[in-house]
Amino acid sequence: MSETNIITWGTNAGMTFEQIFQENIGWCLWTRDRHEKSPLARSIIFCDWLDSKLQELDNSLIIPPSINVSHLAKIIDRSPSFLKLLNGCSPVHSFFSNQIKWSRPAQVPPNLFGVFIDYVLRHYISSQIGQPFIDRRAEIFAVDLDDSENDCDFVFCKENGNPIRPKRVCVSYKVVKQSTETKLVLRELFYTSTAHTAFWGEGYHEKIDYDDSFLPLQVFDIITQNLEIVIKKTPLLLNPIVGNANLGINGDADLITGEEIIDFKTSMNEPATKDFIQLYLYAVLYYKNTGKYIKTLTVLNPLMMCNWTIDISNWNGYEEVIDWINKRKK
């Protein structure tokens, strides 16, 4: 093994280039970004190797015949050829006036917590604009009820060989659909949101019982106050389907308002590259379906009370992205 292919600095000193690439791709990309901004002699060989490695993977990248937008974003977020199509657009960061310090309760898994907050925001917006709250995932569980959970004792899917019986989803979804007061049905929204993670094979989370600490009312009030600027925008499409059968991509956006796509995030970190790639993909799919262009991409984080926006009004890569995807389909 060539000694030149070994990291010689920092906490990763002694690891081979291949080892660090397999175990900590984030560090690799961070090192490359830092090197581009301020070239360091010690990282020249590594960054050249990394670029070659990424290009090698890019050339062999294959997109499955059917895939969800968020999963596709994860696949291509390290693709040099795809990122080149985005023309290096950078997000602008801004804060809301109402600030709060609060984060995810430890007993709630990150994926479920994010979905729960999404459902809360969607239900609140629905109630404010007079639109019925309908969830396509929870509709799978919908059956005629007499308000007895036993009426919902049927198998939806299996996890690790054990049947999942979504009693709570059935009852909770009925309550949620009939209510226009979001803060009064937070418990039911939490149980309804488990339909989403079950649908995408991320677990039903049947054993987690809702607790008021999951979303304190004072936090709910501040979050919804900061949504007012969004609710005033028209036209407003809530949770629209943007998937395209011809491209084999399925998915739905959180919000499309006029020429802006808004995606809710609940991480306590800044958005990752894949988060913005997901928004670009939404814009391309929306264009493919409607012929309409999007001018602004926004990641809105109601917990950090801030958002990130990218102006793509002068971006003309829609057809190039579609062609890029088609060339890599199985």
Domain ranges, ordered by start, for the chain: 3-59, 67-95+228-327, 110-215
Phi/psi region, residue 33 (left: phi>0; alpha: psi -120 to 50; beta: rest), is: alpha
Q: What is the pTM of this model?
A: 0.78
Instruction: From first to last of the 330 residues of the chain, give the pLDDT tens digit.
Output: 455 789 988 878 899 999 988 887 768 877 877 777 677 777 889 989 988 888 888 888 888 888 889 888 888 887 889 988 987 667 888 876 666 667 788 888 877 888 899 999 999 999 999 999 999 888 876 655 455 544 444 444 444 444 445 677 888 898 999 999 999 999 999 989 988 877 766 655 667 888 898 999 988 998 888 788 888 888 899 999 999 999 999 989 999 998 999 999 887 778 888 899 999 999 999 999 999 999 999 999 887 888 899 999 999 999 999 999 999 987
Host H or E run for residue 64: none
User: How many CA atoms does the CB half-sphere of 204 hold within 13 Å?
Assistant: 18
Q: Decide: 120 and 219 in contact? Cβ < 8 Å.
A: no
Q: Alpha helices of the chain — where are they, by DSSP H? A: 17-23, 25-37, 44-59, 69-76, 80-85, 110-129, 167-178, 186-199, 217-225, 228-231, 273-290, 318-327
Per-residue pLDDT, 184? 97
Per-residue pLDDT, 203? 59
Can you say how many angstroms the Cα of residue 47 is from the centroid of all Cα atoms in its chain?
29
Could you give the CA distance from residue 321 to residue 81 in angstroms, rounded to a whole number?
A: 10
Q: Which residue has the tokens 């602008």?
A: 92
Per-residue pLDDT, 4? 72
Per-residue pLDDT, 58? 86
Could you give the CA distance from residue 250 to residue 230 in angstroms, rounded to a whole number?
A: 25
Residue 39, helix vs strand vs coil: coil
Per-residue pLDDT, 141? 66
The set of residues, in sequence order, having a beta carbon less than 8 Å from that of 10 and lying 6+ positions away, is none
Per-residue pLDDT, 125? 94
Per-residue pLDDT, 94? 83
Per-residue pLDDT, 153? 47
Could you give the CA distance from residue 305 to residue 282 in angstroms, rounded to a whole number?
A: 23
On the question of a cis peptide bond just before residue 109, with omega within 30 degrees of 0, the verdict is: no
Q: Which residue has the tokens 């059917």?
A: 66
DSSP structure string for 146-175 = SS-GGGG-----EETTEEP--HHHHHHHHH
Per-residue pLDDT, 154? 46
The set of residues, in sequence order, having a beta carbon less than 8 Å from that of 81 and lying 6+ positions away, is 58, 324
